[in-house]
Amino acid sequence: MPNKALILCADDYAASAAVSRGIAGLARAGRLSATSVMTLSPRWPQDAAALRELRGQIDVGLHLDWTSPFAVAAGHGMALPRALLRAVLGGFEREQARVVIERQLDAFETVWQAPPEHVDGHQHVHQFTGIRDALLHVLARRYPQRKPWLRMTRVNAKQAGLKGRLLTALTRQPERPGWPCAPDLWGVYGFDGGAAHYAALMDDWLAHAPAQAVLMCHPAQGEDEAGDPPDPIAAARRWEFDFLASPIFAQALARHGVTPARGSFLFSGCA
């Protein structure tokens, strides 16, 4: 079976000690090809060290944040239902969104000393009305020579359900032609069902996701540290890590002919 390139992207880097530890470990083992960073987290400056060892091996991007405790502490955050309601009822004010986006990109570059290789959003806020348009204009101005690739939240019908339909409804292609975009998003589920359920879902995603799609995950390893915020999906993060680190996952990659690939390589011709 010929290899199929998928972007295996772990979200929420720097959200907690366990999240950063798990993502860095999986990346070193070749199980991931991208991660998205929460730059509002106070952990980001220290946790970046583990990613520096992997520079050039995986894509490191910005996980744009409006809905985490870090965003609330920064002064612009809100609960996801409120953010969704604002997106539906006219959208976010574009200039205010621009300021928030610039600050998070500044925080990324100050630590990483390079632009992000991709941009996506915590709870998919990068696609919300007002935020999306501001983001495209900011990225075009800051990175005119090499645009970061973007993750679209269009969800395949095999992952249908309220969450999948809502994400797809929020998705709109960038208004600028030629923008590098991953066409489909896989890995959507309710963070429930346990380890065996996740293993079965992952096998199905690997089998059916088209080439160049993003397969997102949310792994964490071990315990959080004092000061890390409470994590409502902590149990799911740990069963995801256990599966992704296992020989069973390696066998599934081989069985379905999947190669973890970097979006910065796949979409370089579009940048």
CB 248 within 8 A of CB 31: no
- Mean pLDDT value across residues 248-257: 97
Percentage of residues in the chain having pLDDT higher than 90: 74
d(CA 201, CA 217): 12
User: What digits encode the pLDDT tens for the residues 107-123?
Assistant: 999 999 999 999 999 99
Cα–Cα distance for residue pair 235/233, rounded to 1 Å: 6
Confidence at residue 104, expressed as pLDDT on a 0 to 100 scale = 98
Cross-strand bridge partners of residue 151: 182
Q: What are the tokens at 51? A: 């990613």
Question: What pLDDT, on a 0 to 100 scale, did the predictor assign at position 140?
Answer: 92
Amino acid code (one letter) for 188: V
- Tell me if the pTM is above 0.95: no
Name the residue type at position 50: A
Instruction: Write the pLDDT tens digit of every residue in 58-95.
Output: 999 999 999 999 999 999 999 999 998 898 888 899 99
pLDDT given at position 168: 57
Q: How confident is the model at residue 171 (pLDDT cuts 50, 70, 90)?
A: low
Tell me the three state secondary structure of residue 61: strand
What domains are defined for the chain?
4-270 (3.20.20.370)
